[in-house]
Amino acid sequence: MMDVAKAAGCSQATVSVVLNNVMDIKISPDLRARVLDVARTLGYGLASPIRRAGLEDLREGCIGFIVDQLATTPEAVNAIEGARHASWEKDVTILVAQTQGRAEHERKALARLLQAGAQGIVYMSVFTRRVSLDPVFDDLPVPLVLLNCYTSDNRFPAVVPDEVTGGRMATASLIRKGHRRIGTIVGESFMEAAQDRLTGYREALAEAGLAYDDRLVVEGNWTPTSGYEATQKLLSLREPPSAIFCQNDKMAMGCFGAISEAGLRIPGDISVVGYDDDELSRHLRPQLTTLELPHRPMGAWAIEQLARKARSMHRGTHKVGCTFVARGSVGRKSH
């Protein structure tokens, strides 16, 4: 939709209104026609699972979406948007319940979604993790898909981001620019995303023949303040890094502040890569090179699995790669 908005000279919100055929919002016929024409020209939606999923069995039905948190981060909304996009042409309604991760809320939500006629259930965690499902999920009358989480026995189809590859891509992008001393600011170490992104960082160093130095690894907590403080620690080293991989864009925002305060320039003096492709990454100056989390395609994948039903659903955990987004915060290492 961002591509369509740019080509049509309007906002992404306008594109959404037009493509969803919302008629109670006043948009001029010329603008509506222009958005539709651009969408057709760019082949909007043709590469998405809309075209692959056999959604005929779900036509005019509904799917239940159970998620622990909706408001804290955009990931849940992005996944729901991906699911909606993958099902909209078949007139499938998505019903969403937020449970705060409480088992009693999950049981009530599940009962009400089934009562409403849900033909499949998507169970999502905002943070990638292993989950222990309530026994009520064991014998459902409809298929179940796990999104951004998985069970230890892999008995349900599950989809998660490929965080190890993401961490490797972020670090490798800096190595390709000639950086050899690369710092990283990690998220809270108990979280799988932080562990896996750090694993990817270490793999990229090893592949390039670079030694791992734990002085270059500083723990943050995903906030701008922690990114700022961690960057100060890295810059205070006797041999500071020439590049920093921040495990999310909010920490990268704090990193930018500390670098500027130290009188250094991005990317002239130091390069920075973030992670998440948060909206703020486009408002930093220079704009932040980052990786986009794949929650939209993950949501679409979940719908595709429900359409397949039990006879051919993917078993085990499926990993979806992140997309590298090159912007202006990475430069070649100066000698």
Superfamily of domain 1-44: lambda repressor-like DNA-binding domains (1.10.260.40)
What mean pLDDT comes out for the span 32-43? 84
Residue 293 has pLDDT above 90, yes or no: yes
Assign 197 a pLDDT band (cuts: 50, 70, 90). very high
Report the SS3 class of residue 61.
coil
Structural domain 163-292, CATH architecture: 3-Layer(aba) Sandwich (3.40)
**Exposed, middle or buried by CB within 10 Å (0-12, 13-18, 19+), for 138?**
exposed
Given CA atoms 282, 283, 286, 291 in this order, what sign does their dihedral have?
A: negative
Of 304, 168, 299, 141, residue with least CA distance to 245: 168
Q: In terms of DSSP bridges, do strands 323-325 and 290-292 run parallel, antiparallel, or are they unpaired?
A: antiparallel
Q: Beta 317-320 vs 62-67: how paired, if at all?
A: unpaired
What's residue 246's pLDDT?
A: 98
* Residue 51 scores a pLDDT above 60: no
CATH 1.10.260.40 in the chain: give the residue spans. 1-44
CATH 3.40.50.2300, the chain: domain bounds = 60-160+295-320, 163-292
- One-letter amino acid of 249: D
Structure confidence by residue, pLDDT tens digits, 100-127: 989 999 999 999 999 999 999 999 999 9
Residue 28 has what pLDDT?
A: 84
Q: What is the pLDDT of residue 1?
A: 80
Average pLDDT in the chain: 89
Q: Let me know if domain 60-160+295-320 sits in CATH 3.10.20.30.
A: no
What is the rounded CA–CA span in Å between residue 133 and residue 144? 11
